[in-house]
């Protein structure tokens, strides 16, 4: 993690020395919760790598997950341009909200769907299930996975020659799914492909 300099925050802007802190899932980019931090809470977060707030109701430092063990594991911190609020990116070890929801806004922590699908495929790779088509396909080896991508690409080209929207989009979805499975089988991710595309974009 890049070192965070506490001088980036101006705690004097708040009469009680508390600044708002937004916590975002470092992977999905979904906003998980908001809390308040003082200097000591930020120092403890940096020291323990577990996100800590100042609880206004308890009147003390409070580490998220200290009771439930659903900790927020620190990835990065950034101060805003006015130095009076904090963006924290973290990896949650369970639901963030005390209600049991993923977020304090009742939103499922899935993020953008292709990224969610990719994580699901990677989980099927790392934790195979006999009931999972993805696990079964991966178990058949890289040649079979690559063959399926080729078959789906040909089927998409065939449908592109006609004007049936549903069939075309269905084949496009099949190709996208098998393409992500192939990336997982090879140990690569969509981010790896995005980086190549970014490097070509000028």
CATH of the domain at 139: 1.10.287.1080
Residue at 120 is within a domain: yes
- pTM of the entire predicted model: 0.70
- Residue burial 22-52, b: 16+ Cβ < 10 Å; e: rest: ebbbbbbebbbbebbbbeebbebbeeeebbb
Contact 73, 91 (CB under 8 A): yes
Identify whether the C-beta of residue 131 lies closer than 8 Å to the C-beta of residue 125.
no
Residue 52, strand partner residues: 63
Flag whether 121 is in a domain.
yes
**Same domain (yes/no): 123, 52:** no
144 in a domain, yes or no? yes
Q: What is the pLDDT of residue 110?
A: 83
Nearest C-alpha neighbor of 74 from the set 89, 63, 58: 89
Domain count for the chain, please give it: 2
User: Based on the domain organization, do 71 and 118 belong to the same domain?
Assistant: no
CB atoms within 10 A of CB 182: 20
pLDDT in tens, the chain (202 residues): 678 989 999 999 999 999 999 999 998 899 999 999 999 999 999 999 999 999 999 999 999 999 999 999 999 999 999 999 999 999 999 999 999 999 999 998 887 889 889 999 999 999 999 999 999 999 999 999 999 999 999 999 999 999 999 999 999 999 999 999 999 999 999 999 999 999 998 7
Going by the DSSP 8-state scheme, the letter that residue 11 receives in this structure is G
Tell whether 1 is covered by a domain.
Answer: no
CATH of residue 77's domain is 3.10.20.810
Q: Which of 58, 70, 75, 63 is nearest to 96 (CA)?
A: 70
Looking at the structure, tell me whether residues 12 and 88 fall in a common domain.
yes
Question: Cα angle vertex 86, ends 84, 91, to 5°?
Answer: 175
* Domain co-membership, 84 together with 118: no
What angle separates helix 190-200 from helix 165-186, to the nearest 10 degrees?
100
Which domain covers residue 148, as residue numbers?
A: 113-197
């Amino acid at each position: 993690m890049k070192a965070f300099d506490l001088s980036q925050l101006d705690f004097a802007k708040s009469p009680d020395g508390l600044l708002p802190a937004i916590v975002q899932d470092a992977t999905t980019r979904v906003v998980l919760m908001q809390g308040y931090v003082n200097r000591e809470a930020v120092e403890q977060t940096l020291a323990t790598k577990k996100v800590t707030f100042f609880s206004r109701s308890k009147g003390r430092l409070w580490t998220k997950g200290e009771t439930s063990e659903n900790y927020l594991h620190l990835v990065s911190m950034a101060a805003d341009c006015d130095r009076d609020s904090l963006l924290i990116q973290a990896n949650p070890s369970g639901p963030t909200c005390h209600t049991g929801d993923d977020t304090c806004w009742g939103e499922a922590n899935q993020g953008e769907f292709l990224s969610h699908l990719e994580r699901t495929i990677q989980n099927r790779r790392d934790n195979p299930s006999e009931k999972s088509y993805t696990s079964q396909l991966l178990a058949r080896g890289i040649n079979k996975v690559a063959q399926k991508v080729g078959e789906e690409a040909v089927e998409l080209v065939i449908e592109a020659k006609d004007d049936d929207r549903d069939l075309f989009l269905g084949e496009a979805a099949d190709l996208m799914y098998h393409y992500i499975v192939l990336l997982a089988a090879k140990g690569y991710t969509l981010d790896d492909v995005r980086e190549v595309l970014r490097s070509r974009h000028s």
